[in-house]
Amino acid sequence: MMSRIIQLLFMLTCFLLFEIAPSKAKAQEILTISLKEAQDYALINNASIRNSVIDLELAGKKIWETTAIGLPQADAKVNYQHLFKVPELTFGGDYFLATGLPAGIPLTSDDITNEAVYIDYRQGVPIPLGVKDNTTLDVTVSQLLFSGEYLVGLRASKVYYIMSKQAKTKTECDIRESVANTYSLALVLQSNLEVMSRSLQNLNKTLGEMREMNKQGFIDITDVDQVELTTLILDNSLTSLNRQALAALDLLKFEMGMPMAQDIVLTDSLQALAGDVSLEALTADGFRVADNINFQMLDTQLKFGKLIMQREKTTFMPTLAAVYVHTEKFKKIDFDFTPKDVFLLSLSIPLFSGGQRISKVQQRKLEYEKILISKDHVEQGLQLEYVNARNEVMSAFATYNNVKKNLELTQRIYAKTLIKYREGLSSGMDLMQAQNQYLAAQSEYFNNVYALLTSKNRLAKLTSKQ
């Protein structure tokens, strides 16, 4: 308990050291806020809550991203091609029979003997195998027909969404507890401040009376000095306590996600919050580990780990996809045998990976076993934490009732001692002793109220009864 109080005082000190300069903007209206309103405000505006909402949206987008892998895919590609030299194809030349005879005169054997006839060779016309500049449009449509890795990945993305949702719930539980504890701390400091202010007023009044009595010779100056010293000490404590109370409000606004310039007034009373603590309501249904958000997150993590292991196993399975390709050329050559439309089925079969896939499956299996061990360990730890939290609440509740009675007793003693002192039946030392006894009881009371409320908040968070 003392360690938690020290941590909170350290946080308050940090707020005092790094206090933000007062805003020059127009003063805002004072906002009255109850504990429930503060928690509801924090569940909307706290930075961690807002980030968890974004994380949940990202998880939803991730599901669609994974789902889209199995939907039809279409791509279009435009290529421009320039050939510096177009390749050509030729089938050789032709041979023709030629003579020097006039047209219309028949050919005779003498003409052949006299070599009046000869063979003429003519080179063939080359055929271009392309065009110098061309633009090609390719449209590809594909559809994944079967992939074990895809099917498992789709299930894993949905489990991941559940994990993100549970993480948001856990953040909300943490924020509720944190705001409740800080709200209670602020009330404790404010209540203590009110008590010390009244005590200082009474002490100043008593000091004035003692100075008059000293002037008349009824009491010694030492008694006056003793009361004055106590007054100075109490005034210094009041100044320090006032700064702590302001810092607690700043810390509360920070946890709520509220602007620091906004002035707030807490409407719930410390006594009402302490009076609402019901041991029967907190412990009526016992403790079910399955209701705890930490256990639920670990259980979901176990499911996710199992799917990751199954995903590695699917890498041994084949993948089947259908692909359709349409090609359109803006310039065509005469002898173009490239088909415009092509349909194909692609079957990818993993054969051998040197043991890499087996090693990955074994790694995921070992990681899954670690989560199993952690789950059992966390379950036992939560059971132990519940027992300790329940005992802490019961102890704090019993101490609170005793301290409350002690406060009432010291308050009556101080009031009677003050009356006796004014009637001359008690000394100044007796009055100071009663005053210090009352202030010590008041401080102990506030500390125990805060201990009761924080232990109650811890148990409520553990049993999901916030």
Q: What is the pLDDT of residue 12?
A: 47
Assigned domain for 159 exists: yes
Identify whether residues 296 and 242 lie together within a single domain: yes
Tokens read off for 56: 């949940």
Residue 325 lies in a domain: no
Same domain for 109 and 184, yes or no, is: no
Q: What is the pLDDT of residues 134-186, one digit of tens each?
A: 899 999 999 999 999 999 999 999 999 999 999 999 999 999 999 999 999 99
pLDDT for 144 equals 93
Mark whether 50 and 113 lie in a shared domain: no
Residues 102 and 248 in one domain: no
Q: Please check whether residue 331 lies inside any domain of the structure.
A: no
Note whether 122 and 94 are within 8 A (CB): yes
Q: Do residue 8 and residue 53 come from a single domain? A: yes
Whether residues 99 and 45 fall in one domain: no
One domain for residues 379 and 449: yes
Say how many domains are in the chain. Answer: 2
* Residue 82 domain-assigned (yes or no): no
Asked whether residue 39 is domain-assigned, the answer is: yes
In a domain, 421, yes or no: yes
pLDDT at 14 over 70: no
pLDDT tens-place string over residues 224-274: 888 888 889 889 989 999 999 999 999 999 999 999 999 999 999 988 898
Are residues 230 and 166 located together in one domain of the fold? yes
Range of the domain at 120: 91-125
Question: What's the mean pLDDT when you consider all of the chain?
Answer: 85
Q: Looking at the structure, do residues 169 and 283 belong to the same domain, yes or no?
A: yes
Residues 60 and 117 in one domain: no
- Same structural domain, 394 and 276: yes
Residue 15 located in a structural domain: yes
Domain presence at residue 433:
yes
pLDDT digits (tens, 9 = 90+) for 186-195: 999 999 999 8
pLDDT digits (tens, 9 = 90+) for 19-39: 443 443 344 688 999 999 999
CA-atom Rg of the chain in angstroms: 45
Q: Do residues 393 and 299 share a domain?
A: yes
